[in-house]
A and B are shown apart, each in its own frame.
Chain A
Amino acid sequence: MVEFKKDGWRAAIALTPMILFLLVFTFWPIINSVIWAFLDDFSYGGKAISHGELGGYRWITGGTFIKVGIANFKSVLTDQLFWVALRNTALIVIVSVPLTVIIGLGIAVGLNSIKKFQGFYQTVFFLPYVTNTIALGMVFATLFHQNYGLVNIVFNKIGFAWINGTTFTGTTDVTLVTALTVLTAYTVWNGLAFKIIVFLSGLQNIDKQYYQAAQIDSASRWRIFSKITVPLLSPMILYITITSFIGAFKAYSSVIAIFGTGRYGPEGEPNMLITVVGYIYDKMEYGGTPYGVAAAASLILFFIILIITVLQLQISKKRVHY
């Protein structure tokens, strides 16, 4: 910037709207969440909120609560359901993230090496990005149905019966494993689009001259890939990995979409595949002390995500080159 005068007041005008909205709908709720998490037995005056009442809650204090404490956290951490949710979420993360990232990278590298039909394939792979989660979730449920699902029929014909039992009717043929498989298939399907396109543009942005120089330096195909392509791509890989982990921890609507019952499992086991986010929402709508417990649970989730992200950043320091 050449000029040195302060744009203070102009900036204020320009930024105020955005900051206002962010304050009200982002910062404020975060602060509130943090506070409620620490208020024991925080309830909203014990009565249901009805239309038109402001209920006497004035910003920070109000409503009734017993004392400040960690009862909410205790309640969450001793809740068996929460651990089920955590386990499920962890499984989803561990299984689907590496799978999606590696397949995505493989497809991107493959796409980068072909000239014919590259545009066509790119479009096909991008389609899932513009689909509606609920709509396609139902489709996947149908595809994997035990009796008439396309997948089961095809695999039965070949002799595999490994998706048997993925029925979402009241039968107990559904197990955690089968449900997880279907969910993974769906999550991978959904997740590839974004990753492929980011990897692909990263690959295409690598200057051809590096490859020429490497050729003159007698580098083999593999060495070029491992010593040049991957390091130059590493910022993208890191970004994708971090965002994939964060996204996988927030799994919720895909589970709802697949089961189609409004819950996280078949009729008999409505909480089979409950996720942490699902737990939070349940506590909000149905729990006895809605906000406190839900807030506590969401803080715990945030913490877990934060730790994982920081870990990833630490690990990546040595390996990522900008």
Chain B
Amino acid sequence: MRKEEINAVPENVTFYNKVEVKLQNLTKEFVDKKGEVTVAVNDFSVTIPAGKLIGLLGPSGCGKSTTLYLISGLYKPNAGSIYFGDDDVTNTPPEKRGIGLVFQNYALYPHMTVRQNIVFPLENIRVPQKEAQIRAQKMAELVHIGDLMDRKPNQLSGGQQQRVAIARALVKEPRVLLLDEPLSNLDARLRLQTREEIRRIQKETGITTIFVTHDQEEAMSISDEIIVMNEGIKQQIGHPQDVYEEPINLFVAKFLGNPPVNIVPGLLTDGKVILENGIEISTGIDKPNQPVDIGLRPEYLKLSAQGKIVAIVDFVEHIGRDTMLICHLIDSDIKIRAIIASDRRLQPGEQIKFDCAKLFVFNKTTGERYK
């Protein structure tokens, strides 16, 4: 392979068959040695639009990795089906589905060079050497490791290894790209860089990409849409900002947002919520009177002289850009956090008043949100 030949190939690669991924009633159970059954994924249905970067988000053990592996084909579902576009791939083995998978630990073959790692899948499907080398080089350029081709994995940094893994996954021009917790093995500084890399690669190739993470900030920052999962059940799917601003239930509201949303018990009475200490806020909710959980996002609490929510400051944390107040509601033990602009300097013990721009009202038992 002469160098000129390799460099003659254009850098953009956008000829991927984007497909929509449809999961219908997907269920996966695991039986352990004692015979106990764990339902990892429960009747999961979702349609993932083609050509988008989708984040599968949830706490540990919520079934997101299992779902990813189901999509890849390494696991077979107990019930339900998976479609890539119009193809029913539920019964197709992973190597025939047209997927690329990037493992959390990258799983790069340690004894092969970067070049050999990337070329490996092509060799397995009998692509002629010349063409395989060209495609491998193209892929390496795409992920910006073109000059590391002759190194071995243990000579690369974590971020570089991951890019090799991505190149290897993409070289066979799959229909769907899957990434399992791509950022969790990287240090904080690298995470920022790498997630933007993932975004860039996805935009350049246009391939339908699904990645799994437990970090809500990561998911929100680069995804076109996020899917929130808990205990094997889909909670909500939508544009990150939409999901953030209009959570469908208590879990989603709590999971997204840092610092997390304040949850305060209250009583829904005639369209108004009454807090423990007597504060009343009117909502437009038309539901029978019942005890409810109220969600107040820290940034929705605005300092106001006429604010209904009265609280006493306990701690003040200056985090540079904002100031976080940890307070407790007057006449009550309930703690809340609020984020305000840094121009107010407050002292512990001061009494302040908040107005709440927006609040969430959740059914106390089901967690469902009332509008």
Contacts and interface: CB of A to CB of B under 8 A. Distances in A.
B220 interface: no
Contact of B94 (A216, A227, A232, A234): A216
Contacts of A214: 109, 120
Contacts of B99: 216
B110 A216 contact: no
A212 B111 contact: no
A220 B111 contact: no
A172 interface: no
User: For A209, A216, A227, A321, which residue has the most chain B Cβ atoms within 10 angstroms?
Assistant: A216
B111 A216 contact: no
Nearest to A321: B111
Contacts of B120: 214, 217, 219, 227
Q: Which 7 A/B pairs are nearest by Cβ-Cβ distance?
A: A321-B111, A217-B121, A218-B95, A213-B107, A209-B107, A218-B124, A231-B111
Interface in A183-216: 207, 209-210, 212-216
A223 interface: yes
B111 A232 contact: yes
B109 A215 contact: no
22 contacts: A209-B105, A210-B109, A212-B103, A213-B101, A213-B103, A213-B109, A214-B120, A216-B100, A216-B121, A217-B95, A217-B121, A217-B124, A217-B172, A218-B95, A218-B121, A219-B120, A219-B124, A223-B124, A227-B109, A231-B112, A321-B110, A321-B111
A175 B96 CA distance: 60
B81 interface: no
Contacts of A111: none
A98 B107 CA distance: 33
A232 to B, nearest CB: 6
A238 interface: no
Interface of B: 72, 74, 94-96, 99-101, 103, 105, 107, 109-112, 120-121, 124-125, 168, 172
Which size bracket describes the interface of A in this complex? Answer: 10 to 19
Main SS at interface, chain A? helix
Contacts of B125: 218
Contacts, number: 53
Given A216-B74, A217-B168, A232 B124 contact: no
Contacts of B172: 217-218
Given A209-B105, A220-B124, A223-B124, A215 B110 contact: no
A227 B123 CA distance: 11
Contacts of B109: 210, 213-214, 227-228
Scoring B94, B96, B99, B124 by chain A CB atoms within 10 A of each residue's CB, the highest score goes to B124
B107 A210 contact: yes
A321 B109 CA distance: 11
A212 B94 CA distance: 10
Contacts of A321: 110-111
B107 A212 contact: yes
Contacts of B100: 216
A231 to B, nearest CB: 4
Contact of A216 (B95, B105, B112): B95
Given A216-B72, A216-B101, 12 more contacts: A213-B109, A214-B109, A216-B95, A217-B120, A218-B96, A218-B121, A218-B172, A219-B120, A223-B124, A227-B120, A232-B110, A321-B111
Interface in A66-85: none
